[in-house]
Chains A and B, each alone.
Chain A
Amino acid sequence: MKEKLASWPTLFLLFLKRDWKKIVVWVAGLGLFSAAYVPAFEEITKGQGLKGMFETLQNPAMISMVGPTPVETAADYTLGAMYAHEMLLFCSLFAMVIAALHVVSHTRKEEDHGLLELVRSFQIGRQANSLAAMMEILFINVLLALFIGGVMISFGADTITVEGSFLFGASIGMAGILGAVIALVMAQIMPASSGATGSSLGIIGLLYIIRAGTDVSNADFSMVNPLGWTYLTYPFTDDNWLPLIFALIFSIIMVVLAFTLEGNRDLGAGYLPEREGRDRAKKSLLSVHGLFIKMNKGVMISWLIAFVIMGAAYGSIYGDMQTFLGSNEMMEQMFAQSGVSIEESFTGTIMMVMISLVSILPIVIVNKLFSEERRSRLSQLYATKVTRNQFYWTSIGLAVLAGLAGIFLAAGSLGGTASAAMEDNVTMDVVDFFAAGFNFLPSVFFFIGLAALALGWAPRLGKVVYVYLGYSFAINYFGNILDLPEWFSKTAIQSWQSRMPLEDFNAPSFLTIIVISIALMIIGYLGYHRRDLMEGA
């Protein structure tokens, strides 16, 4: 064993040296995102805020999104209870995803690039690299947990207890470790790093959707879900440390499993066999369009399937909503007064969430062109009669198509499942769902436009588009809960669209943003066709 792990501390220190900037951004960014909303939440608690929020979050639709609370009466619903209820699941999810990406990039990716081969020719144990990566993850997440706990205590709010704060932080830190061990196992099974990343994220997404179902039906079932071991600690209310122990045991088992798998495979190989390819190109491949579709096929199909599953998962909740209203007089009155049905209200919110996620796929496709450029793969093609024009507009076109298909599938799947779930209680038909979905088309176009602009003028900033997407998403998501000033919420692009079906279609805004987006694409092109290609950079 000692031999397998030899010299891991050296690699560990090397990781810290290489990553320290990333670690600072990671801990500070995720930490503040998780902990620093306490004052904003204090605002909500004023007056009847807590009671209203408690009732709202009893809605199965909301539970499916944010998770359950152990609190049974509105009187016990404190600031701490609400904070953990609304924030913990999402922050845990982020922590998992970031850690999973990080682990794959330090293990499988370096293996694919051939770096590990050279490293292994030294006195380095076979599994020292994996152990070093895990130790780095442990280090980062412990740091993150302490940072979150510390920041939360510093606000000095009554119900934000010391124990609860550290449990909250530890839950998020543990989520990171869970994401990391899942990724480490997938890194052994999959034949390449892209597969490892994709399958890890897929598993995390699946865990999230499964827990949405079990949270609504019976939260006890969420206890067998690794993602459940994070938010079911219920900080500030039950303060239950037990799930973290489950998570720890699970993590140790996964690490042992990953090490065993790694020990039994060759460097560069996986457990899933790679299929033999065809010896001649299919006709459909033989064009710029064909090549780009082929390049993006895997990611497109998996995302589109994810949209369908997501739509179906949320759609299935519509059946529970009327039951919920029947059991909750206050909410029933509230919805009766406002003149919108509970289904319509939920559709407005969930559609925004889903279409924000749909926007990721087109951004991925546009950014792909730059990552291909950097790896110098395009130079052989540029040397032929193919023009940059073709590359650019093929990518943009594909992104637009992916956006349209994404909205269609997400809205259709949501609408279809919802209609089935509502049975005879139908308050919306499928057309309403499509309208609500395509109402967000301008925001999808806008993200494509931004990515295109970056591609043309400052391609290294392509990743920043994701940051803006995350930002807009957060603004809209929390905009439902917090009372954000108008100008502030307008910094998110989705806010410029009306919330259908709650509000009427806003045609001028719809068209304006589409026109702006197309202009961005054209401006991006002007940059792209004249700038230097950045190969190998």
Chain B
Amino acid sequence: MTNIVSIQGLQKRFGKFQALNDVNFTVNAGEVVGFIGPNGAGKSTTIRILLGIIKRDAGNAEIFGKDVWKDSLEIHKRISYVPGDVTLWGNLTGGEMIDLFLKLHGGGDKQKRDELIKRFELDPKKKAKGYSKGNRQKVGLIAALAADSDLYIFDEPTSGLDPLMEAIFQEEVEKIKKSGKSILLSSHILSEVERLADKVVIIRQGEVVETGTLDELRHLTRSTVTLATKGDVAEMAGLKGVFDFNQKDDEATFSVDNQHLDDILVKASKLGVKKFESVPPTLEDLFMRHYEG
């Protein structure tokens, strides 16, 4: 697989504040990468460096094999970007802004534009100063989605959108994904990332602390198991790999290290299983584990 985006050892400091310490990750062709982390972790800084808007202090950052600072114009021909807070010139209409952005991008699909305006229920004749936050966001999204790019960079793109519009955005992203384009999606809406992303990059205090597919990440952590047995379920508590054991009557809930799952199932079947439910960790669980622990 070819790397669309590749970042190694990226560093950036603002005055005394070390915003990025050591950021490494790649986005491969046709891949949707979820980029998550709390506020101030360095997500937007990384994205701005990728866009050539700010200059890195150290490390390497390439898109399409080109340097993001030196060859930014070449790169920008083939990317689309939506910031988390789209600002517009107040005296232009939404329709005008979209056309302008498509022009600046270097050509987009007029038909796609009209279709998206309809789907997102945007009134393109209204001046931008009359738009709400969500409507400004739609302008940015439509302009980005109607452009034909190889890499889409979204920085919390759905902030301010209602759930219906969020769903439409997700559908559109899936379409792009199917056509083999790459997407870097930074978002706080973890269910969105979970649904769309092939790979997740978790950043914390300017460092990437976890990278991998959702499955890989899940494997490293614990599932939540609810078990009811004919025998005494309390016997499960002493097993290796069982944590947070909670018992209520003959039913117990606990977390399980996935590598010990086999032993646990063997033991449970000896006790006689009445009920067994296993819930894989959600992205939210993964996320919380990284930040609370």
The answer on A and B forming one complex is yes
CB within 8 Å of B: which residues of A? 3, 6-7, 10, 14, 18, 113-115, 117-126, 266-269, 273-274, 536-537
Contacts of A122 in B (CB 8 A): 76, 101, 104-106
B54 touches A536 (CB 8 A): no
B73 partner, pick from A6, A10, A14, A114, beta carbons under 8 A: A6
A18 touches B77 (CB 8 A): no
Additional A-B contact list (13), CB under 8 Å, known A118-B140, A123-B77, A124-B76: A3-B72, A7-B104, A14-B100, A18-B92, A114-B83, A118-B87, A118-B101, A120-B53, A124-B104, A266-B14, A267-B54, A269-B14, A536-B129
Cβ of B15 within 8 Å of any chain A Cβ, yes or no, is yes
**In the complex, A269→B80 CA distance in Å?**
24
For B79-91 the 0/1 string (1 means CB < 8 A from A) is: 1110101111101
- Could you write out 17 A-B pairs with CB less than 8 Å apart? A14-B100, A18-B89, A114-B83, A115-B89, A117-B83, A118-B86, A121-B51, A121-B81, A122-B105, A123-B73, A123-B77, A124-B104, A266-B54, A266-B55, A267-B54, A269-B54, A273-B15
In the assembled complex, the CB of B130 is this many whole angstroms from the nearest CB of chain A, namely 8
Contacts of A536 in B (CB 8 A): 129
In the assembled complex, the CB of B108 is this many whole angstroms from the nearest CB of chain A, namely 11
A120 touches B52 (CB 8 A): yes
Task: Give chain A's interface secondary structure class.
Answer: loop
B83 touches A119 (CB 8 A): no
CB within 8 Å of A: which residues of B? 14-15, 48, 51-55, 72-73, 76-77, 79-81, 83, 85-89, 91-92, 100-101, 103-106, 129-130, 140, 153
Contacts of B72 in A (CB 8 A): 3, 126
B53 partner, pick from A113, A115, A266, A274, beta carbons under 8 A: A266
**In the complex, A118→B80 CA distance in Å?**
10
Please report the number of residue pairs spanning A and B whose Cβ atoms sit closer than 8 angstroms. 69
In the assembled complex, the CB of B257 is this many whole angstroms from the nearest CB of chain A, namely 42
**In the complex, A118→B84 CA distance in Å?**
10
Contacts of A123 in B (CB 8 A): 73, 76-77, 104-106
Contacts of A113 in B (CB 8 A): 87
B53 touches A267 (CB 8 A): yes
Contacts of B91 in A (CB 8 A): 18
B15 touches A118 (CB 8 A): no
In the assembled complex, the CB of A85 is this many whole angstroms from the nearest CB of chain B, namely 40
**In the complex, A7→B106 CA distance in Å?**
10
Q: Residue on A with the closest CB to B96?
A: A17
B73 touches A120 (CB 8 A): no
Contacts of A115 in B (CB 8 A): 87-89
Contacts of B130 in A (CB 8 A): 537
Contacts of B153 in A (CB 8 A): 121
**In the complex, A121→B147 CA distance in Å?**
13
B73 touches A125 (CB 8 A): yes
Contacts of A114 in B (CB 8 A): 83, 85, 87
In the assembled complex, the CB of B132 is this many whole angstroms from the nearest CB of chain A, namely 8
**In the complex, A118→B153 CA distance in Å?**
12
Q: Residue on A with the closest CB to B69?
A: A126
A267 touches B48 (CB 8 A): yes
Contacts of B87 in A (CB 8 A): 113-115, 118
- Report which residue of A7, A120, A274 has the largest number of chain B beta carbons within 10 angstroms of its beta carbon: A120
In the assembled complex, the CB of B211 is this many whole angstroms from the nearest CB of chain A, namely 25
**In the complex, A94→B129 CA distance in Å?**
29
A120 touches B103 (CB 8 A): no
**In the complex, A268→B14 CA distance in Å?**
11
**In the complex, A126→B72 CA distance in Å?**
9
Contacts of A274 in B (CB 8 A): 15
B104 partner, pick from A10, A117, A267, A268, beta carbons under 8 A: A10
**In the complex, A119→B106 CA distance in Å?**
13
**In the complex, A537→B130 CA distance in Å?**
7
Given contact pairs A7-B104, A266-B54, A536-B129, A118 touches B83 in the complex (Cβ within 8 A): yes
Contacts of B88 in A (CB 8 A): 115
B81 touches A118 (CB 8 A): yes
- Report which residue of A6, A114, A269, A537 has the largest number of chain B beta carbons within 10 angstroms of its beta carbon: A114
Contacts of A267 in B (CB 8 A): 48, 53-54
B54 touches A119 (CB 8 A): no
**In the complex, A20→B80 CA distance in Å?**
30
B53 touches A117 (CB 8 A): yes
In the assembled complex, the CB of A152 is this many whole angstroms from the nearest CB of chain B, namely 33
Contacts of A125 in B (CB 8 A): 73
**In the complex, A6→B55 CA distance in Å?**
19
Q: What are the 7 tightest A-B residue pairs by CB atom distance, in nearest-first order? A: A121-B81, A122-B104, A266-B54, A114-B87, A123-B76, A267-B53, A115-B87
**In the complex, A376→B77 CA distance in Å?**
36
In the assembled complex, the CB of A124 is this many whole angstroms from the nearest CB of chain B, namely 6
